[in-house]
DNA sequence: ATCGTGGCATA
DNA sequence: GTATGCCACGATG
């Protein structure tokens, strides 16, 4: 086993021992590569390139890989670097924006094609096994300055690979720059040539000259030439400004006096910070050999055929076979050499079929090679052992991570322990908060098992969890991110096996770990009950993870991390092979931190309002109950549909009774409504039914909402923190639970009262922004229905238009009933209409409903075409797609059971419509935090999503600005990936509570 | 305690 | 007719 041999080389485990870390000392040759510079150059200097199979833009990734490979080869041969790192800018906002808000403010956002390539390029760096470094709040240049200083301090030799003039201030003895494009060293002389002053005065010159690209103001009218002249004459900026009055030229003198402060601000912007507190130690930059398999798999997945071969040959590795190629993948990069062409031809000739691609097979094979052996897991209880695991995670560049807590609800959960896995079968558990076997109030303390102090362990783990060069892999990592966020740790970068499965296999089953382990690894995970069964504690409620003995906890927890790592190895390669990278990278993964923020924020709820409503509902319930008992003459359980059905249809022999499939009398509200409308009924029976309906409404509102919600108010925050499931629905919608805040009543007056309990904090407003008719608009677009598109373009009442088109009634003074029918039909269309369902909905005969549908199809023939095409597609391929490429599978679609098939066909018709709408709001949500930041709305927080509605909380004074930004983001969310052929409209309103805001 | 069923809240 | 989650009941273990 690799673990063993590695450990064998390290006889002692002490806190100072970081196997794999290489200290920097005299003679070290440290290479710091300006990653962002590389990216932009790769992007702009090279022609655009898209991945043949799915059109994902990958030009910058390709150029970057090419440049990095060339650089690695050349320097390895000539200069033998000892340390190397690629350093990236982390985000738009840095500490410089605090000094000067306009810094880099006018810089346009990166081109759309470049955005999905940023994470891929980081993946590439990791695959090359080069340290991949970034830090929130700092520019790459500051990190480079810091590493350079550290290296020089101990006598190392630094090369900064960049041609950015902003880095020239760092040149000094021991530090040179290298322009990879021109293959030219930049030393002291070259800096003097560029700036007219030596490197140590570059900052002074830049402070005067400013920089229009970065929006560094400088002093107007002074460029590099003049600045250099002045600095040469006066020595430095401060002396110059002190003696500004002595300057001969009047214009120059006045400007220097007037803009002295601006020059000083400019200096603080230009001066690089060389004492950043780093997340990645410089020792971790030690040069390592590439991960050959990972690198080649990555290049294959990107479909860089020539580059894959070139690098495979360069590494002396076997050229991996190409991935399974789909129909559209015949376009290949032209071969560059005769020799390459031969290889290409051989590859083309090789049989390529729909079987799993080589990378996929390889990943799955490793994941399954050895069965899960719980006895091999380690319980980590010493600092030294934890440091060893962290170190190995760093070396591997990735780690599966899982937390164990006291509660399934992440905002209430207390951390009990966490597990790590570095490779298949290599996993450990770090207990932190176990109470021990007799976990009662009195004896618990003494029985606490020996374990690391939580604070100490987290302090060691934080740099790993936040290390941009180590990928953290989780299963439903949203949960772990929330738990860690509450301890001040932001996990990044990450992958989520649940979301990988969701993107790949939506509709093919559940995406929980147990289901995935069984499906992909043939492994049955230990259940919580199994592990817990061995713990003492009479009451179920006592059985939290904290009480579990360490041996069982280790088996259970480490297995989770092990299985997660194996699932990642199985699923991640499929992403590229099955062309789901764009879906995962643009619709799934980026949503996780957004949801984490929303769940963390929660929404304020007024306990008193709910309690008052509960009382009102209780009183009304009692009165209704008395009335019903009086009418019936004896007591029965009103909440039992069985008893009610027997009363109405067996004893009172009321007409129109229908049975459910289990033989019970049906007593749904719909049916009771019809029953009450029946002329044959006497007054008492009618009163009974109507009272019963009212009783049901009252008890529903009370039990599901006003009684249940207060229990969810978090004691610390006073707010309700719902949980959003990201992989629960087949269509791409989110699901809300614990509590479900996506089904808070709105239709009835009494129900809507409940919404008044959802309030904004003091000095704040709630803003609700909702898409108008989003699904019908999507339908108009995907089915290409001219009348619908025209109606939306003109802002007409869409249901009235439908009614007018179908029944020939003028829109003006249209009877409400006519419009209601048209509305029902419109919804029916979205749901994959059937005469049976429409008849049910409208309370008309099946024949009449069938006629409506016929008329509808005559007036809008495109709808029938769309439905037929969708059915054809799903039968032929077993899946349908949203407009953004999300796939929804229907593996059972060809079932012989006709009613089942009908159901699946309707679901398949609905899925692209509901799913595309879900994707649109996902895109809006993903963009929202950055948009709020740019719009300078730090008080605004997104709190809730209700399928076509987003709820925000914002300072009173910013409400109207938020409405503007939120609407813009939501209305343009489909772009630029898809330009809809209908306008998208969003309504938004601010108020003190959710009822008034909606 | 846990499960299936009926019923009902939302988009 | 689509997509969810939660409640109470009543039968099961």
Q: What is the pLDDT of residues A480-497, one digit of tens each?
A: 999 999 999 999 999 999
The answer to whether A664 CB sits below 7 Å from nucleic acid chain B is: yes
A150-159, A242-251, A735-744: which has the minimum mean pLDDT?
A242-251
Question: Does A16 score more than 70 pLDDT?
Answer: no
Provide DSSP, A740-789: --S----SSHHHHHGGGGEEPPTTEEEEEEEESSHHHHHHHHHHT-HHHH
CB A387 within 8 A of CB A463: no
How far apart are alpha carbons A949 and A758 in whole angstroms?
15
- What is the edge-to-edge ordering of all strands in the sheet holding A378-379? A378-379, A426-431, A415-423, A398-405, A471-474, A494-496
Q: What is the pLDDT of residues A335-355, one digit of tens each?
A: 333 332 232 332 333 333 333
CB A379 within 8 A of CB A554: yes
Q: What is the pLDDT of residues A110-144, one digit of tens each?
A: 777 787 788 789 888 988 989 999 888 889 999 99
Q: Which nucleotide's C1' sits nearest to the alpha carbon of A658?
A: B6
The answer to whether A669 CB sits below 7 Å from nucleic acid chain B is: yes
CB A456 within 8 A of CB A383: yes
Q: Which nucleotide's C1' sits nearest to the alpha carbon of A888?
A: C3
The CA–C1' separation of A294 and B11, in angstroms, is 43
Q: How confident is the model at residue A955 (pLDDT cuts 50, 70, 90)?
A: very high
The answer to whether A541 CB sits below 7 Å from nucleic acid chain B is: no
Distance (Å) of CA A890 to CA A502, A614, A886? 14, 43, 13
Q: What is the pLDDT of residues A845-856, one digit of tens each?
A: 999 999 999 999
Question: Does A873 score more than 80 pLDDT?
Answer: yes
pLDDT score at A446: 63
Q: Which nucleotide's C1' sits nearest to the alpha carbon of A645?
A: B6
Q: Give the mean pLDDT of chain A.
A: 88
Q: Give the strand pairing for A719-720 and A603-605.
A: antiparallel
Q: Which residue is nearest to nucleotide C2 (CA to C1')?
A: A831
Q: Which residue is nearest to nucleotide C8 (CA to C1')?
A: A639
A188-202, A292-306, A313-327: which has the minimum mean pLDDT?
A313-327
CB A952 within 8 A of CB A988: no
Q: Which nucleotide's C1' sits nearest to the alpha carbon of A740?
A: C5
pLDDT score at A470: 87
Q: Which nucleotide's C1' sits nearest to the alpha carbon of A748?
A: B9
Residue of A513, A522, A467 lying closest to A492 (CA atoms):
A467
Calculate mean pLDDT across residues A937-959: 97
The answer to whether A15 CB sits below 7 Å from nucleic acid chain B is: no
Q: Which nucleotide's C1' sits nearest to the alpha carbon of A737?
A: C5
pLDDT score at A425: 96
Q: Which nucleotides of C are covered by protein (CB under 7 A)?
A: 1-10
The answer to whether A737 CB sits below 7 Å from nucleic acid chain C is: yes
The answer to whether A833 CB sits below 7 Å from nucleic acid chain C is: yes
Q: Where are the domains of chain A?
A: 29-285, 289-355, 366-589, 604-754, 760-785+860-998
Q: Which of residues 624-643 of A touch strand C (CB under 7 A)?
A: 637, 639-640, 642-643
pLDDT score at A15: 31
Q: Which of residues 739-758 of A touch strand C (CB under 7 A)?
A: 739-740, 742-743
Q: Both tokens of residue A984?
A: 């998208």
A90-104, A294-308, A396-410, A788-802: which has the minimum mean pLDDT?
A90-104
pLDDT score at A625: 96
Q: What is the pLDDT of residues A364-401, one digit of tens each?
A: 888 888 999 999 999 999 999 999 999 999 988 899 99
Task: Considering the domain delimited by A29-285, tell me its CATH architecture.
Answer: 3-Layer(aba) Sandwich (3.40)
Sign of CA dihedral A750, A754, A760, A765: negative
The answer to whether A737 CB sits below 7 Å from nucleic acid chain B is: no
Calculate mean pLDDT across residues A241-254: 84
The answer to whether A736 CB sits below 7 Å from nucleic acid chain C is: yes
Question: Does A826 score more than 60 pLDDT?
Answer: yes
The CA–C1' separation of A427 and C4, in angstroms, is 36
The CA–C1' separation of A339 and B8, in angstroms, is 69
pLDDT score at A356: 44
Crossing angle of the two packed helices A774-783 and A898-934, in degrees rounded to 10? 110
Q: Which residue is nearest to nucleotide B9 (CA to C1')?
A: A743
CA dihedral A247, A252, A253, A254 (to 10 degrees): 170
Considering the four listed CATH numbers 3.10.129.10, 3.40.50.1860, 3.30.420.10, 3.40.50.880, the one that applies to the domain covering A366-589 is 3.30.420.10
Q: What is the pLDDT of residues A71-86, one digit of tens each?
A: 899 888 888 899 999 9
pLDDT score at A358: 67
Q: Which residue is nearest to nucleotide B8 (CA to C1')?
A: A700
Calculate mean pLDDT across residues A548-567: 96
pLDDT score at A167: 94
Residue A107's SS3 state is coil
The CA–C1' separation of A246 and C8, in angstroms, is 90
The answer to whether A725 CB sits below 7 Å from nucleic acid chain C is: yes
pLDDT score at A499: 97
| Topology given in CATH for the domain delimited by A760-785+860-998 | Alpha-Beta Plaits (3.30.70)
The answer to whether A857 CB sits below 7 Å from nucleic acid chain C is: no
CB A976 within 8 A of CB A927: no
The CA–C1' separation of A131 and B10, in angstroms, is 48
Q: Which residue is nearest to nucleotide B1 (CA to C1')?
A: A540
A55-69, A547-561, A965-979: which has the minimum mean pLDDT?
A55-69
pLDDT score at A230: 87
Considering the four listed CATH numbers 1.10.10.10, 3.90.950.20, 1.10.357.10, 1.20.1060.10, the one that applies to the domain covering A604-754 is 1.20.1060.10
The CA–C1' separation of A642 and C11, in angstroms, is 13
The answer to whether A935 CB sits below 7 Å from nucleic acid chain B is: no
Q: Which nucleotides of B are covered by protein (CB under 7 A)?
A: 1-2, 5-11
Provide DSSP, A931-981: HHHHTT-TT-EEEEE-SSEEEEEEEGGGHHHHHHHHHHHHHTTTTTT---S
The CA–C1' separation of A528 and C2, in angstroms, is 35
């Amino acid at each position: 086993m690799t673990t063993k041999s590695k450990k064998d080389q390290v006889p002692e485990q002490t806190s100072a021992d970081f196997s794999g870390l290489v200290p920097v000392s005299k003679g070290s040759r440290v290479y710091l590569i300006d990653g962002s510079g590389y990216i932009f150059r790769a992007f702009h200097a090279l022609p655009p390139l898209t991945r043949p199979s799915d059109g994902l833009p990958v030009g910058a990734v390709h150029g970057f890989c090419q440049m990095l490979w060339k650089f690695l080869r050349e320097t390895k041969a000539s200069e033998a670097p000892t340390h190397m790192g690629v350093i990236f800018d982390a985000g738009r906002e840095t500490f410089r924006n605090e000094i000067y808000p306009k810094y880099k403010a006018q810089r346009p956002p990166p081109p759309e094609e470049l955005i999905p390539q940023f994470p891929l390029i980081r993946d590439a760096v990791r695959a090359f096994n080069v340290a991949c470094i970034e830090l929130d709040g700092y520019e790459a240049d500051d990190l480079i300055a810091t590493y350079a200083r550290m290296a020089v301090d101990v006598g190392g030799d630094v090369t900064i690979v960049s041609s950015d003039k902003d880095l020239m201030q760092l040149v000094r003895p021991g530090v040179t720059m290298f322009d990879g494009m021109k293959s030219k060293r930049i030393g002291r002389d070259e800096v003097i040539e560029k700036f007219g002053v030596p490197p140590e005065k570059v900052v002074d010159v830049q402070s005067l000259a400013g920089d229009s690209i970065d929006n560094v103001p400088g002093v107007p009218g002074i460029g590099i030439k003049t600045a250099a002249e002045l600095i040469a004459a006066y020595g430095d900026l401060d002396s110059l400004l002190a003696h500004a009055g002595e300057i001969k030229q009047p214009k120059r003198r006045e400007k220097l006096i007037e803009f002295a402060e601006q020059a000083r601000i400019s200096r603080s912007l230009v001066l690089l910070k060389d004492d950043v507190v780093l997340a990645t130690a410089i020792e971790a930059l030690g040069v390592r050999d590439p991960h050959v398999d990972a690198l080649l798999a990555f290049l294959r997945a990107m479909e860089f055929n020539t580059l894959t071969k070139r690098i495979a040959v360069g590494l002396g590795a076997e050229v991996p076979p190409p991935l399974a190629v789909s129909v559209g993948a015949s376009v290949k990069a032209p071969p560059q050499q005769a020799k390459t062409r031969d290889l290409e031809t051989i590859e083309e000739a090789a049989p390529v079929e729909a079987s799993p691609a080589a990378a996929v097979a390889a990943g799955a094979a490793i994941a399954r090679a050895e069965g899960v052996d719980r006895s091999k897991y380690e319980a980590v209880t010493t600092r030294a052992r934890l440091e060893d695991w962290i170190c190995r995670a760093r070396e591997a560049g990735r780690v599966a991570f899982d937390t164990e807590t006291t509660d399934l609800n992440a905002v209430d959960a207390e951390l009990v322990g966490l597990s790590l896995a570095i490779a298949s079968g290599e996993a450990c558990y770090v207990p932190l908060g176990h109470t021990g076997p007799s976990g009662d109030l009195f004896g618990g303390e003494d029985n606490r098992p020996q374990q690391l102090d939580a604070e100490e362990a987290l302090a060691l783990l934080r740099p790993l969890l936040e290390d941009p060069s180590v990928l953290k892999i989780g299963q439903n990592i949203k949960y772990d991110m929330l738990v860690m966020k509450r301890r001040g740790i932001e996990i990044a970068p990450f992958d989520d096996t649940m979301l990988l499965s969701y993107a790949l296999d939506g509709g093919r089953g559940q995406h929980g770990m147990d289901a995935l382990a069984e499906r992909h690894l043939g492994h049955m995970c230990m259940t919580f009950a199994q592990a817990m069964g061995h713990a003492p504690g009479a009451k179920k409620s006592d059985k939290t993870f904290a009480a579990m003995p360490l041996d069982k906890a280790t088996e259970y927890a480490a297995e989770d991390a092990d299985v997660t790592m194996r699932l990642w190895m199985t699923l991640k390669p499929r992403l590229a092979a099955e062309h789901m990278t764009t879906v995962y990278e643009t619709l799934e993964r980026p949503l996780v931190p957004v949801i984490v923020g929303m769940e963390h924020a929660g929404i304020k709820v007024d306990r008193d309002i709910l309690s008052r409503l509960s009382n009102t509902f209780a009183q009304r319930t009692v009165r209704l109950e008395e009335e019903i008992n009086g009418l019936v003459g004896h007591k029965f359980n009103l909440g039992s549909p069985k008893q009610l059905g027997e009363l109405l249809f067996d004893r009172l022999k009321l007409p129109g009774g229908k049975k459910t499939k289990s033989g019970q009398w049906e007593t749904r509200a719909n049916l009771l409504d019809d029953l009450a409308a029946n002329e044959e009924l006497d007054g008492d029976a009618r009163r009974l039914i109507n009272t019963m309906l009212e009783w049901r409404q009252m008890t529903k509102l009370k039990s599901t909402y006003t009684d249940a919600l207060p229990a969810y108010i978090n004691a610390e925050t006073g707010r309700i923190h719902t949980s959003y499931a990201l992989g629960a629905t087949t269509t791409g919608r989110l699901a809300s639970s614990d509590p479900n805040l996506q089904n808070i009543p709105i239709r009835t007056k009494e129900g809507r009262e409940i919404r008044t309990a959802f309030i904004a904090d003091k000095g704040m407003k709630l803003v609700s922004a909702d898409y108008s008719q989003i699904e019908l608009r999507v339908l108009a677009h995907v089915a290409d229905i001219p009348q619908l598109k025209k109606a939306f373009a003109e802002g007409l009442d869409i249901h009235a238009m439908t009614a007018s088109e179908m029944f020939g009634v003028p829109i003006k003074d249209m009877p409400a009933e006519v419009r209601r029918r048209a509305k029902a039909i419109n919804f029916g269309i979205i749901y994959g209409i059937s005469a049976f369902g429409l008849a049910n909905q409208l309370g008309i005969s099946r024949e009449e409903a069938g006629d409506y549908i016929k008329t509808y199809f005559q007036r809008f023939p495109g709808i029938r075409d769309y439905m037929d095409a969708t059915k054809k597609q799903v039968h032929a391929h077993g899946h349908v797609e949203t407009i953004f490429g999300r796939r929804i599978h229907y593996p059972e679609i060809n079932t012989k059971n006709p009613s089942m098939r009908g159901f699946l066909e309707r679901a398949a018709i609905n899925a692209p419509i509901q799913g595309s709408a879900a994707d649109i709001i996902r895109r809006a949500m993903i963009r929202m935090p950055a948009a709020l930041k740019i719009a300078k709305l730090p008080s605004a927080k997104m709190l809730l999503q209700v399928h076509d509605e987003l709820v925000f909380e914002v300072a009173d004074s910013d409400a109207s600005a938020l409405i503007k930004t939120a609407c813009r983001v939501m209305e343009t969310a489909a772009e630029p990936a898809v330009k809809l052929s209908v306008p998208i409209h969003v309504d938004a309103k601010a108020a003190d509570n959710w009822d008034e805001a909606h």
